[in-house]
Amino acid sequence: MPILIHESKKTIWVLGDQLNREFAAVAQATPQTHRILMVESAEKVQSKKWHIQRAHFVIASMRRFANELRDSGFEVDYRKATTLAQGLREHRSEFSPTHVSVMEPASHTALAMLRRNDCEIVRSNQFLCHYEDFAHWKEQLLERRKTFKMEDFYRWQRSRLNYLMTIDGEPETGTWNYDSENRLPPPKDGKNQWPAPLTSELDDIDRQVIDELRPHCVGQTPTGIWATSRQDALKRLNHFIDNLLPNFGPHEDAMLSSSWHVAHSLLSPYLNIGLLRPAEVCDAVQNAYRQGQVDIASAEGFIRQVIGWREYVWGLYWLWMPDYADLNKLGATRNLPPLFTCDASTKMNCVSQVLTEVDSHAYAHHIQRLMVIGNLCLIAGINPQQLTDWMWANFVDGAEWVMVPNVVGMSQFADGGQMATKPYASGGAYIDKMSNYCKGCHFDRTKRVGDNACPFTTLYWDFMARHEVVLGKNPRVAQQVRAAFKLSDLPAVQERAKVVLEQLSAGEL
């Protein structure tokens, strides 16, 4: 049997969240000079109880991208291996590449692995602000000021990237943000303003991936909602611009039992693995505004999420990790309740609604994550690392760099205020204002004691009293702490909170 001798080429290793021809290092590769390596890691698949739609989304997208590269003339070594490093070793043993280049990965762990394995690491262009540039911006700002916040970063980003700016370097209409217009409750007329998401027909690749993953995963089987190719991701972008963006701004914080997606773009998964690039998404939104398809409030609100919040979280991840992931400054030690793992149901309508949607679609929008799931875990004292891990595994757009700052910092205040200036805690009143979840719920959001008192309302006041030492010094919530101690029924609230927490942990709430 003849021995196969492979032509010596350079190898470009494309990781599973780098699926774009414009990304370094694959952007400079040619079929004549480079071979592509892609590795599916069994260790990664088995590392968590992934939602099947999350795992399918990544793996099916990887396999399609490999086929696209082959169609472009590249030789692609697509491997299944025990670990990523094992896949690299097997590739080197078979092909003896002159060297292996890979774009900077999205996690500290992966970066350390690449360095241990002598890979040439190419500076990432997957984000509009590289994390080294973010750190430099922060250092320069702190030479003049004591603190920095997302709004500072967002304005710097808008100015340097020239989104929604005039030729004089001022923001369009003279206003930097439209938060006051973009935080409206759900429309009271009940009209359906939320066109259904696009879907793609499942094919043999999808079915094969689903069959392989089903024994290891949780959640409902993929239905084609999440695109797994660049072509279909671009269709989703166009659908958002044409049909949903005009209504995005005013109701971006609203929650409705009749719509799991409302006017949200559902584009974050594609940005996170490379099927879409942030610049092309923001360009499309700005063009829609320039052409009169959408008002400034919706355009600004969306661009803020992409160039502001998303890139701010990315920068903070690299600035503060790896120690940041383990912070727990409120001492939250309660285990994640069984209702999060579908081992129990709940009479809390808002929580039941959101967790059902996560099970069905591997998705919840930002207010559902922050003010329902995150809020409940915050005021109940749930371990922030357990919540981080659950969100990472269950959301289709989950990743360590996304979830650690958003959960540890923004949602759970586990960093003691390093990222957010206050804990995002609320009682049932906020949920009632921003949703229709409270209608028909077993619990009464106006009550804080009694068997039918809203658990959010009870736990909110207990949380404020429980953390008096820390929160009483915070100017943004000190007033609520004082109000808690002025409640005539505070002892009864605290006793009711004990019952609520016991029921939550037992899956009986």
Instruction: Specify the pLDDT at position 6.
Output: 61
Instruction: Specify the pLDDT at position 366.
Output: 95
> Tens digit of pLDDT for each residue in 253-265?
999 999 999 999 9
Count how many residues are written for the chain.
509
> Tens digit of pLDDT for each residue in 299-334?
999 999 999 999 999 999 999 999 999 999 999 999
Question: In the beta sheet, which residues pair with residue 79?
Answer: 39
Residues 6+ apart with CB under 8 A from 236: 197, 198, 227, 265, 266, 267, 270
Shortest CA distance to 387 belongs to which of 460, 343, 333?
Answer: 333
Fold observed for domain 10-122: Rossmann fold (3.40.50)
**CATH architecture, range 131-191+226-320:** Alpha Horseshoe (1.25)
User: One fold for both 10-122 and 131-191+226-320?
Assistant: no
Contact 420, 329 (CB under 8 A): no
Question: In the beta sheet, which residues pair with residue 256?
Answer: 259
What is the value of pTM for the model shown?
A: 0.95
Q: For the domain 326-506, what is the CATH code? A: 1.10.579.10
* Dist CA 16 CA 14 (whole Å): 7
> Tens digit of pLDDT for each residue in 44-80?
999 999 999 999 999 999 999 999 999 999 999 999 9
Domain boundaries, the chain: 10-122, 131-191+226-320, 326-506
